[in-house]
């Protein structure tokens, strides 16, 4: 190819845009691979790997291997830091097509095309301005408490375990204080209930007997009145 390789983001003939890796004769169509490549184009290497890890397509597995190979080439051959790389270009070219035939009715045959493609991923170092933006974003993520993927070193694991133990101890101390408060409150409620029960058991004061009405006197007066009436009638 005599001109610049525009698909590799190179606009000058003979200029090398970055470090690349490719997979040849992959048994899938180029259109299927391009659908996944569009997701990682222009992303930092770490973000691109996360996207490919959780992409539910068969092409993502192959492209993730090609991306890892490109990062390894940049690290060992060009002595670049993998944390400062991003996907500058990625594309899929059509490969040779395998032609197969399936028998059909009346002596005819149906053609089957088994497509292949060549997948290429190009990585390069981020610019200074963009590198500062990415580093500031990672610093903010770390400051807000999100776990940063630092390779799982022993020191970082020990620090996480120590923080977890301190948090558990503080929570346990708080739970003990709350338990003491609950016991004291329950004792006070028990004493109040006992006092109420003692007051309820005291005998009630005897009521004074009600005065009986002077019924016999009234009855005697009535009998006197009836006798006087009888004498008058006689």
What does the alpha-carbon distance between residue 22 and residue 118 come to, in Å, rounded to a whole number? 7
Structure-model confidence comparison of residues 178 and 136, the more confident one: 136
Q: Are residues 22 and 77 in the same domain?
A: yes
Q: Are residues 140 and 51 in the same domain?
A: yes
pLDDT value for 119: 95
User: What are the C-alpha distances in Å from 122 to residues 10, 22, 68, 69, 199?
Assistant: 11, 9, 11, 10, 90
Q: In the chain, what percentage of residues exceed pLDDT 70?
A: 62
Q: Are residues 133 and 97 in the same domain?
A: yes
Q: Are residues 19 and 81 in the same domain?
A: yes
pLDDT in tens, 6-20: 666 665 665 677 888
pLDDT value for 184: 67
pLDDT value for 234: 44
Q: Are residues 170 and 130 in the same domain?
A: no
Q: Are residues 89 and 128 in the same domain?
A: yes
pLDDT value for 194: 58
Q: Are 27 and 114 in contact (CB under 8 A)?
A: yes
pLDDT in tens, 49-78: 999 999 999 999 999 999 999 999 999 998
Residue-range definition of the domain harbouring residue 45: 6-149
pTM value is 0.55
pLDDT value for 28: 94
pLDDT value for 9: 63
Does residue 168 form part of some domain?
A: yes
Q: Are residues 185 and 87 in the same domain?
A: no
pLDDT value for 134: 73
What does the alpha-carbon distance between residue 8 and residue 89 come to, in Å, rounded to a whole number? 5
What does the alpha-carbon distance between residue 166 and residue 159 come to, in Å, rounded to a whole number? 11
pLDDT at 1 over 50: no
Looking at the structure of the chain, the number of domains it has is 2
Q: Are residues 178 and 129 in the same domain?
A: no
Segment among 26-35, 65-74, 158-167, 203-212 with least mean pLDDT: 203-212
Structure-model confidence comparison of residues 232 and 13, the more confident one: 13
Q: Are residues 41 and 144 in the same domain?
A: yes
The last residue of a domain, from among 149, 167, 202: 149
pLDDT at 207 over 80: no
Query: What CATH number is attached to the domain comprising 28?
Result: 3.90.470.10
| Average pLDDT, integer, range 199-217 | 53
Chain mean pLDDT for the chain: 77
Q: Are residues 101 and 120 in the same domain?
A: yes
pLDDT value for 138: 74
| Average pLDDT, integer, range 132-155 | 66
pLDDT in tens, 102-115: 999 999 999 999 99
pLDDT value for 157: 80
pLDDT value for 188: 65
């Amino acid at each position: 190819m005599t001109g610049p390789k525009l698909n590799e983001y190179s606009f000058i003939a003979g200029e090398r845009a970055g470090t690349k890796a490719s997979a040849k004769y992959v048994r899938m169509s180029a259109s299927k691979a391009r659908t996944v490549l569009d997701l990682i184009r222009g992303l930092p290497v770490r973000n691109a790997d996360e996207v490919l890890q959780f992409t539910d397509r068969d092409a993502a597995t192959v492209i993730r291997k090609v991306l890892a190979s490109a990062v390894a080439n940049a690290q060992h051959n060009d002595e670049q830091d993998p944390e400062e790389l991003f996907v500058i270009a990625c594309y899929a070219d059509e490969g040779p097509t395998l032609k197969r035939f399936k028998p059909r009715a009346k002596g005819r045959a149906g053609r089957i095309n088994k497509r292949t493609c060549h997948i290429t991923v190009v990585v390069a170092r981020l610019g200074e301005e963009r590198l500062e933006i990415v580093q500031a974003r990672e610093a903010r993520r770390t400051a807000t408490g999100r776990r940063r993927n630092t390779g799982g070193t022993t020191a970082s694991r020990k620090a996480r375990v120590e923080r977890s133990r301190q948090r558990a101890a503080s929570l346990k101390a708080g739970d003990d204080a709350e338990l003491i408060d609950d016991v004291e409150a329950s004792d006070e409620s028990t004493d109040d209930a006992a006092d109420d029960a003692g007051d309820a058991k005291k005998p009630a004061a005897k009521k004074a007997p009600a005065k009986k009405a002077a019924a016999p006197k009234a009855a005697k007066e009535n009998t006197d009145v009836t006798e006087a009436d009888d004498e008058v009638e006689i």
